């Protein structure tokens, strides 16, 4: 398994960036389950309950997660512009947790 070491280092460096450093992914998952799971698929597998809601593990394919973090901090939900849009208010700590979780589950486009 020697050959997987460089890859692990790349991952470690990616998620050691400030945006992902502070949060606790386990708490982030709880936040997502409580607030977002009614519509979005929040796990590593599974489909969204509401088919229009993108699964969370694909969000980074649409835009940088850092942009999402910023919108969450400003109380704006990116992409939630229709009548179905719920508004959320999160503390900076909750946002860090959520971002840590989202960062951990992203899958690359195939």
Interface residues with ligand HEC (CB under 6 A)? Answer: 35-36, 38-40, 50, 52-54, 59, 62, 68, 78-80, 82, 84, 86, 88
Cα(90)–Cα(41) distance, integer angstroms: 20
Nearest-approach distance from CB 3 to ligand HEC, in angstroms: 34
Whether the Cβ atoms of residue 27 and residue 40 lie closer than 8 Å to each other? no
Q: Which is nearer to ligand HEC, 10 or 49 (CB)?
A: 49
Residue 73's nearest CA partner among 43, 53, 96, 46 is 96
Nearest-approach distance from CB 92 to ligand HEC, in angstroms: 15
Whether the Cβ atoms of residue 74 and residue 51 lie closer than 8 Å to each other? no
Q: Which is nearer to ligand HEC, 39 or 104 (CB)?
A: 39
Nearest-approach distance from CB 28 to ligand HEC, in angstroms: 10
Question: Nearest residue to ligand HEC, using CB?
Answer: 79
The number of CA neighbours under 13 Å toward the Cβ of 108 is 2
């Amino acid at each position: 398994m020697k050959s997987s070491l460089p890859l692990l280092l790349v991952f470690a460096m990616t998620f050691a960036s400030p945006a992902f450093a502070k949060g606790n992914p386990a708490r982030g998952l709880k936040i997502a389950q409580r607030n977002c799971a009614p519509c979005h698929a929040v796990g590593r597998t599974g489909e969204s309950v509401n088919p229009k809601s993108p699964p969370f593990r694909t969000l980074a394919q649409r835009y940088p997660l850092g942009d999402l973090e910023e919108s969450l901090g400003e109380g704006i939900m990116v992409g939630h512009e229709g009548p179905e849009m719920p508004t959320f208010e999160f503390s900076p700590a909750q946002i860090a947790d959520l971002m840590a979780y989202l960062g951990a589950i992203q899958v690359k486009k195939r």
